[in-house]
C-alpha cells in the first residue's frame, strides 16, 4: 500500500547513550576518532571462572542529568533501561523542537522497546529471596516489564497516542522506528517517539551468549589482547560480538506536521523492509536477508546504485557477517558502496544497537562523513570497502541501514537526506 507523500516519516530529533559517552557530541567525536568504547567488565565482581571479561559499558551518569526524576523515583525505577530510555527521549524531544501540549498529546505515538529489558530487576529480587527470604520490592516486576519503558516515556512526555513495544531481538531499535513510521503513514499519529534501550550486562545473559558461542572469546594464548581490539566486524580474525549497552531515541514526524510547525528535518525514512528467515533461531538466511534489503530499496523508490553507504548490522560472528556480505553482494551486483560497521566501536547493545547505529548514520549524512570500522583486517572471502582508514568524507543522499535479530527478524531501512 502506498501512502501520501505528506505522511512520510521525517527525523525531527534524536539522541543516544552508549559506551562512547553519555553526551551525543562526545559520542560523535569519539566515533570520528575511531575510539573504542569497549573495556574491562566492571559492572559486577568477576569470579575467576566467569567466561566473559570485557564489555561496552555506558559511563556513569550523574543524577543531576535526570531532573525529571525525584530521588524517590530514582530509587523505585532503578533498572538502567528506564533511566537511559527516558533521558535519551527527553534530549531527542528537546532537539526536535516539538512541544507536546494537550492538543498534540493524542496524536503522539510511542514505539520504544527493548530486547532484554530490566532483567537485572528480576535478578535482584531473586537474590533477595534466596539470601534473605524477603519478598520482592513492589517495583520489582514493573522494572522488569519491557512495555513499561515506553509507558514511562509516555507518562514523562504526556504522549497519549498509540503505544507499542515491538521486540525483534537485535533489530528492535530499527523495527520500533518502522512501526512508528507505519502509524504516521496510516494517520494514526503526527509524531512518533521511537527507539530502544538495553542493559544486558548481567551474569546469565553474558554467560549465555558465551555458551551459545556468540560472545567474543580470545584465542588461546591471546588472552591479554586489549579489549579495544576485540570487536572486529567483517575481519578475517573475527571472534564473536562484545556485549554492550545503551539507548537510542528518534523522534519521527509526518512531513505535513514538520512543515506546518516550522521544523527543519535533515533526513526522512524513505523506505523499509521487514522479513522473517523462518530458518533458525540464531543463524540468518541469505535469501530473506537479501529480500529485506530489496524491499527497502523498492519501497524508497531507489536503485542499488543510488545508495552511497551502508550501515551494516555486522556483529563480528563468522556466519552472520558472511551471510550479510553475501546478501549485500547479491543486491549490489558485486559493486558495494562503502560499509561502516559501528559495532567495532560500540560493541553489541542488543536491541538498542540498531537505534544507536541509525543515529550515527543520520549524523554522518548531516556531516558528509562515513564513520570508520576499526580493528578491520580484510577477509579474502569477503571483498568489501570497510572504511578502515578512518572517517571518510562522503556526500550521502541515501544510506541503507541493516538490522537482523535472533529468531530471523530482519529489518532494513533507506535513509534519505533532506537538502
Set of cell numbers at residue 54: 570485557
The verdict on whether 210 is a catalytic residue reads: no
In whole angstroms, give the CA distance from residue 357 to residue 340. Answer: 10
What's the rounded Cα separation, in Å, for the pair 243 and 391?
A: 24
Quickly count: other Cβ atoms within 10 Å of residue 416's Cβ. 21
What separation in angstroms does the CA of 17 have from each of 21, 70, 160, 170, 282? 6, 21, 25, 17, 27
Catalytic residue among 313, 386, 398, 409: 313
- For residue 396 the three cell numbers come to 550521502
- List CB contacts of 400: < 8 A, sequence separation 6 or more: 293, 296, 297, 307, 309, 310, 311, 337, 412, 413, 414, 415
- Rounded Cα distance between 418 and 366, Å, is 9
The answer to whether the beta carbons of residues 9 and 253 sit under 8 Å apart is: yes
How far is it, in rounded angstroms, from Cα 379 to Cα 369? 24
Is residue 261 annotated as part of the catalytic site, yes or no? Answer: no
Q: Are 107 and 191 in contact (CB under 8 A)?
A: yes
The partner residues of 405 in beta bridges, in order of sequence, read 409
Q: Number of H helices and number of E strands within the chain?
A: 13, 14
Q: Given 348, 386, 409, 412, which residue is catalytic?
A: 348
Quick one: cell of 144? Answer: 522488569
Distances (CA, A) of 319 to 49, 201, 233, 283: 27, 24, 11, 7
Q: Which residues of 93-106 are buried (b: 16+ CB within 10 A; e: fewer)?
A: beebebebeeebee
Nearest to 87 by CA among 63, 57, 108: 63
Active site residue 22: no
- Write out the catalytic residue numbers: 170, 313, 348
Amino acid at each position: 500500500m502506498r501512502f501520501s507523500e505528506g505522511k512520510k516519516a521525517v527525523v525531527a530529533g534524536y539522541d543516544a547513550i552508549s559506551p562512547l559517552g553519555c553526551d551525543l557530541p562526545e559520542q560523535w567525536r569519539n566515533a570520528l576518532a575511531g575510539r573504542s568504547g569497549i573495556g574491562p567488565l566492571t559492572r559486577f565482581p568477576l569470579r575467576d571462572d566467569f567466561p566473559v571479561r570485557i564489555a561496552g559499558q555506558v559511563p556513569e551518569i550523574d543524577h543531576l542529568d535526570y531532573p525529571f526524576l525525584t530521588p524517590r523515583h530514582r530509587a523505585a525505577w532503578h533498572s538502567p533501561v528506564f533511566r537511559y530510555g527516558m533521558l535519551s527521549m527527553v534530549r531527542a524531544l528537546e532537539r526536535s523542537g516539538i512541544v507536546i501540549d494537550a492538543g498534540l498529546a493524542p496524536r503522539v505515538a510511542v514505539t520504544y522497546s527493548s530486547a532484554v529489558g530490566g532483567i537485572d530487576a528480576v535478578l535482584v529480587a531473586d537474590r533477595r529471596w534466596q539470601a534473605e527470604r524477603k519478598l520482592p520490592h513492589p517495583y520489582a516486576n514493573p522494572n522488569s516489564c519491557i512495555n513499561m519503558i515506553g509507558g514511562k516515556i509516555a507518562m514523562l512526555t504526556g504522549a497519549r497516542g498509540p503505544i507499542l513495544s515491538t521486540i525483534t531481538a537485535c533489530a528492535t531499535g530499527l523495527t520500533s522506528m518502522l512501526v512508528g513510521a507505519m502509524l504516521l503513514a496510516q494517520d494514526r499519529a503526527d509524531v512518533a517517539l521511537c527507539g530502544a534501550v538495553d542493559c544486558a550486562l548481567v551474569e546469565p545473559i553474558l554467560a549465555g551468549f558465551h555458551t551459545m558461542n556468540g560472545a567474543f572469546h580470545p584465542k588461546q594464548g591471546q588472552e591479554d589482547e586489549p579489549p579495544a581490539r576485540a570487536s572486529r566486524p567483517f575481519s578475517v580474525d573475527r571472534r564473536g560480538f562484545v556485549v554492550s549497552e545503551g539507548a537510542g531515541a528518534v523522534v519521527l514526524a509526518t512531513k505535513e506536521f514538520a512543515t506546518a510547525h516550522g521544523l527543519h528535518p535533515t533526513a526522512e525514512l524513505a523506505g523499509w523492509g521487514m522479513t522473517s528467515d523462518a530458518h533458525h533461531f540464531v543463524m540468518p538466511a541469505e535469501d530473506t536477508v537479501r529480500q529485506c534489503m530489496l524491499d527497502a530499496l523498492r519501497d524508497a523508490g531507489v536503485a542499488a546504485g543510488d545508495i552511497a553507504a551502508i550501515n551494516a548490522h555486522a556483529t563480528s560472528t563468522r556466519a552472520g557477517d558472511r551471510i550479510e556480505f553475501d546478501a549485500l553482494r547479491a543486491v549490489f551486483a558485486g559493486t558495494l558502496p562503502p560499509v561502516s560497521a559501528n559495532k567495532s566501536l560500540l560493541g553489541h547493545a542488543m536491541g538498542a544497537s540498531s537505534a544507536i547505529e541509525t543515529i550515527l548514520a543520520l549524523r554522518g549524512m548531516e556531516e558528509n562523513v562515513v564513520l570508520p570500522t576499526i580493528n578491520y583486517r580484510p577477509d579474502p572471502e569477503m571483498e568489501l570497502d570497510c572504511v578502515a582508514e578512518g572517517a571518510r568524507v562522503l556526500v550521502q543522499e541515501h544510506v541503507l541501514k541493516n538490522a537482523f535479530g535472533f529468531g530471523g527478524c530482519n529489518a532494513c531501512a533507506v535513509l534519505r537526506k533532506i537538502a
